[in-house]
Every structure is written in C-alpha cells, then in structure tokens.
Amino acid sequence: MARVIRNAPADVISVKVGVNVVDLDAMRLRSFVPAVHGFLDTIRDGHPVLIGALAVPALLRSSGVAPTRRATRALRSR
C-alpha cells in the first residue's frame, strides 16, 4: 500500500494507523514502530514535501482506550 500511495499524485496524504494492528496482535511494539517508519519512508520517497515533521505536523487522535479482543474474550468466558 505504501508503494501505491508513493506512486499516486497527491496534494494531501492522510494515513491512519489504527487499533486493528494492535488488537489483532499482528505486531509487537518492537516490530510495529520500524514498520510504520518504513511505511512512511516509502511514501516520503515519492512525496518528499508532503510528509515531513516541519511541512506536515502529525495529529494524534484517539477514540479512547479499548480492551483487546483477547481480553474481551477472557471477560466473556467468566
């Protein structure tokens, strides 16, 4: 997906990295952070002006804290 975004013309790029990656236990923090950096670096290769700490400040928005699916299943089984 990062290569698709990199190769597409764009005036604005918005990337939402959500809870599903964490909730589905697909990655741990140790591998997640480098993966996100690599994803953004790939996009930045094609859009160096659009993605950058100075040109486009990051906006962190959270829908709140939610238990993981594993924790939810454990609560239901009690």
What are the sequence ranges of the domains in the chain?
2-76
What are 23-48's pLDDT values in tens digits?
666 677 778 888 888 988 899 899 88
Q: Do 51 and 15 touch, CB atoms closer than 8 A? A: no
When pLDDT is averaged across residues 47-73 and rounded to a whole number, the result is 59
pTM over 0.75: no
Which of the four pLDDT bands, split at 50, 70 and 90, describes residue 3?
A: very high
Amino acid at 30: R
- Return the exposure string of 31-69: e unless at least 16 CB atoms fall within 10 Å of the residue's CB, then b: eeeeeeeebbeebbebbeeebeeeeeeeeeeeeeeeeee
What's the pLDDT score for residue 54?
A: 45
What's the pLDDT score for residue 76?
A: 62
